[in-house]
Structure 1
Amino acid sequence: MKLIRICFLFVFVLFSYSAFSQWQPAGEKLKTEWANKVHPDNVLPEYPRPVMEREEWKNLNGIWEYSIAGRSTNKPSAHDGEILVPFPIESSLSGVMRRVEPSQVLWYDRNFTIPQEWDGKNIKLNFGAVDWEAEIWINNVKIGSHTGGYTPFSFDITPFLKDGEQEISIRVWDPTNEGPQPRGKQVREPEGIYYTPVTGIWQTVWLEPVNRKSFKKVNFTSDIDNNTVKLDTETTDFESGDIVEVIILEDDKEINRSKFTAGESLDIILSDPKLWSPDSPFLYRTIVKLISDKEIVDEVKSYFAMRKISKKRDENGIVRMQLNNEDYFHFGPLDQGWWPDGLYTAPTDEALKYDIVKTKEMGYNMIRKHVKVEPARWYTHCDELGILVWQDMPSGDQQKDWQMRKYFEGNELVRSAESEEIFRKEWKEIMDYLMPYPGIVVWVPFNEAWGQFKTEEITEWTSNYDPSRLINSASGGNHFQTGDILDLHQYPDPQLYLYDANRVTVLGEYGGIGLPMDGHLWATDKNWGYVQFESTKEVTDKYIEYAETLKDLIRAGFSGAVYTQTTDVEGEVNGLMTYDRKKDKMNIKRISKINREVINILKE
Structure 2
Amino acid sequence: MAAQALQTAAATLPRPEYPRPDWQRQDWLNLNGAWSFRLETETNDSGSTQSAADFNSEIIVPFSWASPLSGIGRSESGIGWYKREVTWSPETSGSLVFLRFGAVDYRCDVWVNGTHAGSHSGGYGTFEFDVTSVWKLGEANLIVVRAEDFDAKSQTRGKQGYGEIRGIWQPVWLESRPQAHVQSAKFITKIDGSIQVEAAVAASAPGEAELRFDFNGGTVSHTERVALAPGVNVVSASFRVEDPQLWSPETPFLYEGEITLASGESTDRIATYFGIREIGTALFGDRKYRWITLNGKPVYLNGTLDQAFHETGFFTYPTDEEMRDEIYLAKRLGLNFIRIHIKPEEPRKLYWADKLGMMVMEDMPCFWGNPDEVARPAYEREAKEIIDRDFNHPSIFSWIMFNETWGLRTDAETISLTSGNADAEATYLPETQEWVRSVYRWAKSVDPTRIVEENSPCNWDKVESDINTWHFYINGYEEVRAHVTEVVENTYPGSSFNCIGGNVQSDAPLMNSECGNVWGFKNGAGDSDLAWHYRYMMNEFRRHDKMCGFVFTELRDVTNEFNGYYRLDGREKFFGYEGFVPGMSLADLHSADFIVIDAPPCQTVQAGAEVSIPLLASSYSDRYHGQQLQLGWELWHDNLGTRVTGDRGTVALDWNGYGVTPIGEPLTFSLPKQDAVAVLALTLRAADGTVVTRNFITFDVRGASADGAPVYDAEGRFIAVPVTDFAEQTFAHQWNAIQEGKTNGGKSGHFVYDVALPDAGEQALIQHVVLAFEASSKRLLARNVEGARDRNHTISMMHGADAAVEYNSNTYYMTDNEQHESLIHVLVDGEKVASFLLPDNPADSQGVLSYQYQEVQNKLDEAGSYGYLCKVTLPSSITAKLDRSRGFKLTLEAGEGGLALYGRNAGRYPIDLLVQVK
TM-score, normalization by structure 2:
0.55
Within-5 A mapping of 1:367-382 = 367-382=338-353
Aligned to 1:25: none
CA–CA separation in structure 1 for the residues paired with 2:386 and 2:90: 35
Counterpart pick for 2:510 among 494, 500, 505? 505
Q: Distance in 2 between matches of 1:364 and 1:59?
A: 34
1:228 aligns with 2:203: no
Does the CA-based 8 Å contact 2:154-2:375 persist in structure 1? yes
Counterpart of 1:97? 73
Query: Matched residues in 1 for 2:371 and 2:320: separation?
Result: 38
d(CA) in 1 for partners of 2:321 and 2:38?
Answer: 31
Provide the C-alpha distance between the structure 2 equivalents of 1:322 and 1:260, rounded to a whole number of angstroms: 37
How far the C-alpha of 1:514 sits from its partner, in A, is 8.9
Q: Any idea what SS the aligned residue of 2:375 has?
A: helix
Q: How many residues align?
A: 525
Larger Rg: 2
Q: Deviations over 1:256-312 (max 9, x none)?
A: 33334263211111212111111111111121110113x452011111111000101
Q: Does 1:458 align with 2:439?
A: yes
> Contact 1:134 / 1:173 at 8 angstroms: preserved in 2?
yes
Partners in 2 of 1:220 and 1:155 — Cα distance?
25
Per the alignment, do residues 530 and 311 of structure 1 end up closer, same or farther by CA in structure 2, a change over 3 Å counting?
farther
Match of 1:313 among 274, 279, 283: 283
Q: 1:44 and 1:528, CA in 2 relative to 1: closer, same or farther beyond 3 A?
A: farther
User: Which residue is equivalent to 1:471?
Assistant: 452
SS of the equivalent of 2:22 reads: helix
1:130–1:148 Cα contact (<8 Å) kept: yes
2:556 aligned with 1:564, yes or no? Answer: no
Q: Residue in 1 aligned with 2:148?
A: 173
Deviation at 1:362, TM superposition (A): 0.3
Contact 1:442 1:472 in 2 (8 A): yes
CA contact (8 A) 2:300 2:592 kept: no
Deviation at 1:500, TM superposition (A): 3.8
1:247 aligns to what? Answer: 214
CA displacement 1:222-268 (0-9 Å, x = unmatched): 0224x30112211211635222111121xx35333333426321111
> Does structure 1 residue 86 correspond to structure 2 residue 62?
yes
Question: Which one is further off, 358-367 or 447-456?
Answer: 447-456
Q: Is the 8 A contact 2:180 2:268 kept in 1?
A: yes
Which residue does the alignment assign to 1:164? 139
Mapped partners of 2:213, 2:344: distance in 1: 29
Superposed displacement of residue 105, structure 1: 1.1
Q: Distance in 2 between matches of 1:512 and 1:427?
A: 31
Question: 2:43 aligns to what?
Answer: 71
> Which piece of structure 1 moves more, 438-447 or 194-203?
194-203
- Which residue identity lines up with residue 482 of structure 1 in the other structure? E
1:313-334 CA deviation, whole Å, 9 max, x = no partner?
2223221001111111111100
Q: 1:592 aligns with which of 587, 592, 613?
A: 587
Alignment of 1:198-237 (within 5 A): 198-225=165-192, 227-237=193-203
- 2:607 is the counterpart of 1:602: no
Indicate conservation of the 8 Å contact 1:105/1:172, yes or no: yes
SS at match of 2:303: strand
**Quick one: which amino acid aligns to residue 371 of structure 2?**
R
Q: Match for 2:176: what amino acid?
A: P
1:221 and 1:580 map into 2 onto residues whose CA distance is 38
Structure possessing the higher relative contact order (Cα contacts under 8 Å, 6 or more residues apart)? 1
Taking a change above 3 Å as real, the CA distance of residues 469 and 117 of structure 1, as seen in their structure-2 partners, is closer
Cα drift, residue 151 of structure 1 = 1.1
The structure that is strand-richer by fraction is: 2
Structure 1 vs Structure 2 CA RMSD: 2.5
Q: CA separation in 2, counterparts of 1:235 and 1:73?
A: 37
Match of 2:376 in 1: 420
2:109 is aligned to 135
Distance 1:154 1:370 in 2: 25
The 2-side partners of 1:96 and 1:481 are apart by 44
1:46-57 paired onto structure 2 within 5 Å: 46-57=17-28
Give the equivalent residue in structure 2 for 1:304: 274
Match of 1:362 in 2: 333
Q: Residues of 2 paired with 1:480 and 1:341: CA distance?
A: 37
Task: Measure how far apart 1:336 and its partner are.
Answer: 0.8
CA contact (8 A) 1:87 1:202 kept: yes
Mapping for residues 259-298 of structure 1, pairs under 5 Å: 259-261=224-226, 263-293=234-264, 295-298=265-268
Distance change in 2, residues 1:480/1:117 (3 Å): closer
Q: Is the Cα contact below 8 Å between 1:51 and 1:218 reproduced in 2?
A: no
Unaligned stretches of 5+ residues in structure 1: 6-11, 20-38, 187-193, 399-413, 516-526
Contact 1:232–1:264, Cα closer than 8 Å, also in 2: yes
Task: Find the residue that maps to 2:469 and give its secondary structure.
Answer: strand
Give yes or no for contact 1:528–1:571 (8 Å, CA) kept in 2.
no
For 1:314, give the aligned amino acid. Answer: F
Distance 1:508 1:344, change over 3 A: same
* 2:222 match: 257
Deviation per CA, 1:76-125, whole angstroms, max 9, x where unpaired? 64212111000100000001101333xx3110011111147454321111
TM-superposed CA distance for 1:458, in Å, is 1.1
Deviation at 1:438, TM superposition (A): 1.2
SS in structure 1 of the partner of residue 456 of structure 2 = coil
Q: By how many angstroms is 1:74 displaced? A: 1.9
Q: Show the counterpart of 1:522.
A: none
1:541 match: secondary structure = helix
Letter in 1 for 2:143: I
Cα distance in 2 between the residues matched to 1:478 and 1:371? 19
- TM-score, normalised via structure 1 length: 0.82
Counterpart for residue 197 of structure 1: 164
Q: 2:540 aligns with which of 549, 553, 565?
A: 549
What's the counterpart of residue 531 of structure 1?
525
Q: Secondary structure at the match of 1:475?
A: coil
Relative distance call for 1:311 and 1:108 in structure 2 (3 A) is same
Post-superposition shift, 1:542?
A: 2.5
Q: State the distance in 2 between where 1:590 and 1:514 align.
A: 25
Structure 1 residue 567, shift from structure 2 partner:
0.7
The equivalent of 1:519 in structure 2 is none
Q: 1:99 to 1:528 in 2, by over 3 A?
A: farther
Maintained 8 Å contact 2:460/2:470:
no
Q: Report what 2:318 is aligned to.
A: 347
Tell me how far 1:513 sits from its aligned partner: 4.9
Deviations 1:398-431 (A, max 9, x none): 3xxxxxxxxxxxxxxx622111110111111111
8 A Cα contact 2:97 2:135, kept in partner: no
Kindly provide the amino acid, as one letter, of the partner of residue 543 in structure 2.
D
For 2:526 and 2:91, locate their aligned partners in 1 and report how far apart those are by CA, in whole Å: 60
Equivalent in the alignment of 1:191: none
Kindly tell me: are residues 175 and 586 of structure 1, through their superposed partners in 2, closer, same or farther at Cα, counting changes over 3 Å? farther
Distance 1:45 1:342, change over 3 A: same
Q: CA deviation at 1:339?
A: 0.8
- 1:369-419 CA-to-partner distances (Å, cap 9, x unmatched) read 110112111111111111111111111133xxxxxxxxxxxxxxx622111
Partner of residue 483 from structure 1, selected from 459, 465, 482: 465
Q: Deviations over 1:527-567 (max 9, x none)?
A: 99953575xxx5323321211111113x2x11121000011
Give the CA deviation at 1:368: 0.6
Of residues 538, 560, 563, the one that matches 1:574 is 563
The one-letter amino acid paired with 1:133 is: R
AA in 2 matched with 1:578: R
**Rounded Cα–Cα distance in structure 2 between residues aligned with 1:356 and 1:532:** 26
Contact 1:513 1:543 in 2 (8 A): no
